[in-house]
Amino acid sequence: MTASEIRALFAVASRPEVVSLAGGMPNIAALPLDALAVEVADLVAREGQVALQYGSAQGRPELREQICEVMALEGIRADPDDVVVTVGSQMALDLVTRIYCDPGDVVIAEGPSYVGALGSFAAYQARVVHVQMDEHGLVPSLLRSALQSLAQQGTTPKFLYTIPNFHNPAGVTLAVPRRAEILAICAEYGVAVVEDNPYGLLGFSGTIYPALRSMDRDVVYLGSFSKTFASGLRVGWALVPPAVRDRLVLAAESATLCPPSFNQMLVSRYLAAHDWRSQVKTYTEAYRDRRDAMLRALETHLPEGCTWNVPDGGFYVWLTVPEGVDTKAMLPRAVTARVAYASGTGFYADGFGSRQLRLSYCYPTPERITEGVRRLAAVLEAELDVMRTFGTPARLPATPPEPRDGPQAPSPHTP
Amino acid sequence: MTASEIRALFAVASRPEVVSLAGGMPNIAALPLDALAVEVADLVAREGQVALQYGSAQGRPELREQICEVMALEGIRADPDDVVVTVGSQMALDLVTRIYCDPGDVVIAEGPSYVGALGSFAAYQARVVHVQMDEHGLVPSLLRSALQSLAQQGTTPKFLYTIPNFHNPAGVTLAVPRRAEILAICAEYGVAVVEDNPYGLLGFSGTIYPALRSMDRDVVYLGSFSKTFASGLRVGWALVPPAVRDRLVLAAESATLCPPSFNQMLVSRYLAAHDWRSQVKTYTEAYRDRRDAMLRALETHLPEGCTWNVPDGGFYVWLTVPEGVDTKAMLPRAVTARVAYASGTGFYADGFGSRQLRLSYCYPTPERITEGVRRLAAVLEAELDVMRTFGTPARLPATPPEPRDGPQAPSPHTP
């Protein structure tokens, strides 16, 4: 394990004067807290003896049925018996890695990929081979090349880890025609597929894309209520093939005995009693406004030579800066200028990404986003100015000093 | 990983007509649910934006300070910076094993030991060497012999895993004079100590024993609110030496990103606003009544040749049955006779324990406990009767068939 390179960032960036475009904290301001307060009180008063007691390692049957209904929106037909409730989908990802990988095994992931996934792969000493994306997501021909090349070395990767919808951090969505193609390539090379889909219901056009799992029952599917309801409850899940299910339940038992009963029952009540799909729509409308604010600000303020995607859902814009600018080296100067971002190298296992950075529009208000991008543009201009004068950007320490503690700072891995 | 041998038991034993003396579910009937309902409603209404949002991987600073106050009752002086909040202490145990152990490494544990610990050791492919206990807990001379013998093979165990107070499953408590002796032996052999103390405040005489960690700052200490407050919230912790802390936080981040904010804040409010020590006293008085009922029933009903300990706290009686009786083989007949227990082999990594079984008095009422022991005694009598007639116990399938699912059954690992 190596220290997360964006850990320090979050401690500094959590100062109120800094506009943080770094974290992936969902915007839960629109949650109906008064109604939820009534719900939790009733849960404790009426079902407290169950909610405050141990439960089963696999999770509550009622919630697993509701999870199947949620997944049906993406075309998935699943048996609640094959669902394992986890403490956030991060736990599902971590345990799936534990089950599939021995040290030295290879995992295929998009480049860039989710930093929390790279953390779990590193924890189990799996080696990551990245495959590039374009504006339509993972490129099938490049996936095939990578698998061919690994096969020539006698290596079969344990799985492809992919985020098909509103990718973190790249913001792109896997084109629907590519989905079957990618499944076919993986099947041909005997590679399992792990589909991580925390943002699937957060599309700005209202489109819900068919899950890879809806096309292939052997796909391992990871889901989460962190973005559709509340991240602080830490309720996620894995849908796995029956052959994997018992091993996953055993691993989950070893990891936490059982997920918190209370949190599962609250999610169940929320899904049953509240119009949760309208709530997701409310969330999504706020995210779209924020995306629009970010795109407008990028267009208006960024210097020439920067490129970025236009995300159609989710939380993130992936920005490429002009050649010669090192986003990791620039970060302390950005934070000094009161704007924070996640530098690109954290999203690669192989040191790539120094010209990239991730901007999150999920949490700050549109006004703050605009101001943050304005500040970022000024930092970039200054960087380019130094380059034009001296031919190289000024060299400062690559990262701020590691703080002893980051109280209340969101985890650097927050999706 | 192997399937847990007592998994099936819980599914069958959860039928209402069966008296389960098998599980370790705490008795939370005495919790002040109405007051808690008000508390959770207020938490959501006033602090919902924090409680329902991601938090830090290490856990909330306020709770970590309160945890230090709880540990101070056992003589521990700790810095909140060295506390990592986890999803139950099981997660702490699992991650400590992940950090310390590579496949093939040796861990020392009492024989018998906590089944959930053995599960985590197996998950990381650590080899367990058991050291026997007597009525005063782990025997120092036997620990020394084991370490000597391992040293002669060139092996240094990664740590001693010990439950010093009201042991699960053995029910015994490590005598205070032995504590320093055991720490000294481990120091001499360069073996770390992991102290698991979920039951420390549940002593029937009111005595709170000094923690091993209070005598040696290098001890890794695992704690839990599952028995002093509510297991369904899954809030536990590890107190670790500073050198281990950052690795543990990183591992925790990889495992779940962060523990649920909501659950942590509820525990904080409970500790701050409620007379939690009186609540523990209420719990403990109920457990003492149940222990007394169990001991009375054992004295009254069990056939000659059975022996057991008299626990002075915690949840468990460890029973040895007459030679020739196999507690694992007997289990299906016991469940048929509507009583369940945990057979002894689950608490050993080496196949030992076939003449032992664990009886829990924590959850059923005294009347049910009495009835359960009466049924168990009849099963034992029948077993002995067959042995007297045929010279060997009747051979039936060793375990009931593995159920496809155990909805609502408590995890077989519930502590």
pLDDT in tens, A271-282: 999 999 999 999
Same domain membership, residue B195 and residue B174: yes
> Residue B184 is part of a domain; what is its CATH number?
3.40.640.10
The confidence band for B392, taking pLDDT boundaries of 50, 70 and 90, is: low
Same domain membership, residue A53 and residue A9: no
pLDDT of residue A123: 92
Greatest CA separation for chain A: 70
Same domain membership, residue A175 and residue A66: yes
Asked if residue A261 belongs to a domain, the reply is yes
The confidence band for B9, taking pLDDT boundaries of 50, 70 and 90, is: low
Comparing CB atoms, the residue among A98, A231, A250 nearest residue B54 is A231
Q: From chain B, pick out residues whose CB is under 8 angstroms from the CB of A250.
A: 1, 3-4, 119, 123
Between chains, do B52 and A28 touch, taking CB under 8 Å as contact?
yes
Asked if residue A397 belongs to a domain, the reply is no
Please give the Cα distance from B108 to B191 (Å, whole number): 9
What is the tens place of the pLDDT at every residue in B336-368? 899 999 999 999 999 899 999 999 999 999 999
pLDDT of residue A392: 62
Comparing CB atoms, the residue among A38, A81, A413 nearest residue B41 is A38
Q: Last residue of a domain, which of B273, B300, B321?
A: B273
**Which residue in chain A has the smallest CA separation from B33?**
A45
Between chains, do A257 and B51 touch, taking CB under 8 Å as contact?
no
pLDDT of residue A14: 73
Q: What is the mean pLDDT of residues A354-377?
A: 97
Please give the Cα distance from B33 to B30 (Å, whole number): 8
Cα of first residue to Cα of last residue in chain A, in angstroms, is: 19
Is 80 exceeded by the pLDDT of residue A402?
no
The confidence band for A400, taking pLDDT boundaries of 50, 70 and 90, is: very low
> Residue A355 is part of a domain; what is its CATH number?
3.90.1150.10
The confidence band for A391, taking pLDDT boundaries of 50, 70 and 90, is: confident
pLDDT of residue A390: 82
Same domain membership, residue A246 and residue A104: yes
Please give the Cα distance from B170 to B79 (Å, whole number): 32
Q: What is the mean pLDDT of residues A239-251?
A: 95
Same domain membership, residue A304 and residue A211: no
Same domain membership, residue B153 and residue B37: yes
Interface residue A251 vs chain B (CB under 8 A): yes
Single-letter residue type at B199: Y
Q: Last residue of a domain, which of B273, B308, B333?
A: B273
pLDDT of residue A159: 98
Is 70 exceeded by the pLDDT of residue A182?
yes
Asked if residue A398 belongs to a domain, the reply is no
Same domain membership, residue B266 and residue B355: no
201-240 of A, contacting B, C-beta below 8 A: 226, 230-234
What is the tens place of the pLDDT at every residue in A333-356? 999 899 999 999 999 999 899 999
181-200 of A, contacting B, C-beta below 8 A: none
Please give the Cα distance from B60 to B40 (Å, whole number): 17
Q: Could you give the number of structural domains in chain A? A: 2
Is 60 exceeded by the pLDDT of residue A144?
yes
Interface residue B41 vs chain A (CB under 8 A): yes
Its domain, for residue A190, covers 33-273
Between chains, do B263 and A260 touch, taking CB under 8 Å as contact?
yes
Provide ipTM, 2 decimals: 0.92
Asked if residue B399 belongs to a domain, the reply is no
What is the tens place of the pLDDT at every residue in A287-323? 999 999 999 999 999 999 999 999 999 999 999 999 9
What is the tens place of the pLDDT at every residue in B82-125? 999 999 999 999 999 999 999 999 999 999 999 999 999 999 99
**What's the mean pLDDT when you consider all of chain B?**
92
Cβ B266 vs Cβ B39: under 8 Å = yes
Q: From chain B, pick out residues whose CB is under 8 angstroms from the CB of A408.
A: 55-56, 60-61
Same domain membership, residue A332 and residue A289: yes
**Which residue in chain A has the smallest CA separation from B94?**
A255
**Residue B39 is encoded by which pair of tokens?**
């508390």
Asked if residue A401 belongs to a domain, the reply is no
- Chain A interface, mutation test: which of B36, B54, B227, most A Cβ atoms within 10 Å? B54
pLDDT of residue A23: 84
Asked if residue A11 belongs to a domain, the reply is yes
Interface residue A30 vs chain B (CB under 8 A): no
Distances (CA, A) of B142 to B105, B109, B111, B130, B148: 20, 12, 11, 10, 10
pLDDT of residue A358: 97
The DSSP output letter for A2 is -
The confidence band for B23, taking pLDDT boundaries of 50, 70 and 90, is: confident
Residue for token pair 């804040």: B265
HEC string of chain B? Answer: CCCCCCHHHHHHHCCCCCEECCCCCCCCCCCCHHHHHHHHHHHHHHHHHHHCCCCCCCCCHHHHHHHHHHHHCCCCCCCHHHEEEECHHHHHHHHHHHHHCCCCCEEEEEECCCHHHHHHHHHCCCEEEEEEEECCEECHHHHHHHHHHHHHCCCCCCEEEECCCCCCCCCCCCCHHHHHHHHHHHHHHCCEEEEECCCCCCECCCCCCCCHHHHCCCCEEEEECHHHHHHHHCCEEEECCHHHHHHHHHHHHHHHCCCCHHHHHHHHHHHHHCCHHHHHHHHHHHHHHHHHHHHHHHHHHCCCCCEECCCCECCEEEEECCCCCCHHHHHHHHHHCCEECEEHHHHCCCCCCCCEEEEECCCCCHHHHHHHHHHHHHHHHHHHHHHHHHCCCCCCCCCCCCCCCCCCCCCCCCC
Cβ B305 vs Cβ B321: under 8 Å = yes
- Chain A interface, mutation test: which of B254, B268, B408, most A Cβ atoms within 10 Å? B254
Comparing CB atoms, the residue among B1, B55, B120 nearest residue A247 is B1
Please give the Cα distance from A154 to B64 (Å, whole number): 49
pLDDT of residue A6: 53
Q: How far is A380 from chain B (nearest CA, A)?
A: 30
Please give the Cα distance from A68 to A346 (Å, whole number): 33
Asked if residue B405 belongs to a domain, the reply is no
Asked if residue B245 belongs to a domain, the reply is yes
Same domain membership, residue B187 and residue B288: no
Q: What is the mean pLDDT of residues B7-27?
A: 81
Interface residue A260 vs chain B (CB under 8 A): yes
**Which residue in chain B has the smallest CA separation from A407?**
B61
The confidence band for A24, taking pLDDT boundaries of 50, 70 and 90, is: confident
Between chains, do B31 and A52 touch, taking CB under 8 Å as contact?
yes
Cβ B324 vs Cβ B393: under 8 Å = yes
How would you classify the pairing of strands A106-111 and A159-162? parallel
Same domain membership, residue A250 and residue A329: no
A348: left (phi over 0), alpha (psi -120 to 50) or beta: beta
Q: Last residue of a domain, which of A273, A301, A330?
A: A273
Between chains, do B262 and A233 touch, taking CB under 8 Å as contact?
yes
Same domain membership, residue B367 and residue B237: no
pLDDT of residue B14: 73
Between chains, do A37 and B57 touch, taking CB under 8 Å as contact?
no
Same domain membership, residue A255 and residue A336: no
Single-letter residue type at B38: V
The DSSP output letter for A395 is P
